[in-house]
Amino acid sequence: MHLPICIFEDNKYSQLYPLSLTRPVFDLRCGMVTLKEKIIRQFPEHSVHLFCRKYLKDVVQQQNPSLKVNKIDTDSCLFINGRIIIDPATIQTFKTEKEVIFIYNDTIAGAFLNGSNVKKFVNALEKEKNLNEFKEISRKEVEKITIINYPWDLIHNNASEIEKDFNFSAEGGNIEGNVSDHSVLINKSNIYIGKDAVIKPGAVLDAEKGSIYIGDGAEVLPNAVIIGPAFIGNGSTIKIGAKIYGGTSIGEVCKVGGEVEESIIHSYSNKQHDGFLGHAYLGQWINIGADTNNSNLKNNYGNVKVYVNGKVIDSGSMFVGLTMGDHSKTGINTMFNTGTVVGVMSNIFGTDFPPKFIPSFTWGSARRMMEYKYGKALETARLVMGRRNQKLTPEYEKMIHHIYTLTRSDKKI
């Protein structure tokens, strides 16, 4: 019998706000799939448990009906931190027959536990305790593990993860969709096009510098250019004349146009029009208005500083763009400064630069911002989801209300 695994959140989830407000950290996308999916596919014959914050539990259970969420009913378990970008080397590191906690840079990357220690670990997760308090269990320092600490870590690892995911799950040169004779596929052996996908005349797929994956039912309209490595999810549309540069992941059921560079668009989000999006991460159910632009590089080429959960953090990088939480929107001609963070369910418009931190449930422009009333925000979310045949369930509504309460203090900043 194969050892059960548990993918868990530690208490660093807030470093990934606002993206992790509406999902566990292990449901963040990097490359073609989420961190969770990367872990599960490396353990195909193992039973899988998930452990997340209490207010997310019911929604996560709805999304993962075959998995046990926040229920560990086994005497032995391999716990894996959901912020890890897993690879075969990491799996080899975690192989052990003795109880041990694996440490990487003062972070618990994983743990193999038996008996009462399983229950103790689960209790610590439930109470969001510091997991480093488990002093009685032997510890092993591990090397060469990639752990996501901040949203920009997802962006900076995205290009390499697209390649890894492509090599794992796709067959280069496999063209199942309808490709126009008047489109151009460069380095075709590095391109996958799924069934019922459509590549229109004049479209260019350039896979010389990286793989390109076009999902089932996706559509690339005339004169769009995609440079690899790039991922276009099932059912998404790349608009006429779009410029999609390498290191970009566009999830399922998105509509994307304009210029996009080294960015992640999670799924069910639209950026249909002209405008630049660079080194950005957009959550779900976002709509970016026409000619919205974000800066991803300071004029002095210095490191970008980003507001993260009440603190200003030096990213250590020259390139950090927009981070936007689920269900937020922009009006036409909206401009975002380098490293701007927008919370969930906000509506931003106007021609001046808004603040670099915009709290959740905010409505307004640089000149004036006010609270986006909960009832109106929720009704908009219900309408938007309904247009994609998705239901705003009571469990989802309960989660959103919790986030509304959780983030109210942010508006005082």
For 50-63, what is each residue's pLDDT tens digit? 999 999 999 999 99
Residue 31 has pLDDT above 70, yes or no: yes
Beta bridge partners, 256, equal: 238, 271
> How much of the chain exceeds pLDDT 70, in percent?
97
pLDDT at 209: 96
> How far, CA to CA in Å, does 40 sit from each of 26, 45, 125, 259?
11, 9, 20, 33
User: CA 124 to CA 135: how far, in whole Å?
Assistant: 13
Residue 2 has pLDDT above 90, yes or no: no
**407 band by pLDDT with thresholds 50, 70 and 90:** very high
User: CA 364 to CA 379: how far, in whole Å?
Assistant: 18
| Averaged pLDDT, 76-104 | 90
The correct CATH number of 5-149 out of 3.30.460.10, 3.40.50.970, 3.90.550.10, 3.40.47.10 is 3.90.550.10
Residue ranges matching CATH 2.160.10.10 in the chain: 154-360
Q: How many residues does the chain have?
A: 413
Residue 280 has pLDDT above 70, yes or no: yes
CATH number for the domain formed by residue range(s) 154-360: 2.160.10.10
Q: Which of 200-214, 364-378, 399-413 has the lowest mean pLDDT?
A: 399-413
Name the pTM for this structure: 0.96
Residue ranges matching CATH 3.90.550.10 in the chain: 5-149
Whether omega for the bond prior to residue 151 falls within 30 degrees of 0, making it cis, is no
Residue 133 has pLDDT above 70, yes or no: no
pLDDT at 1: 54
User: CA 376 to CA 383: how far, in whole Å?
Assistant: 11
Residue 413 has pLDDT above 60, yes or no: no
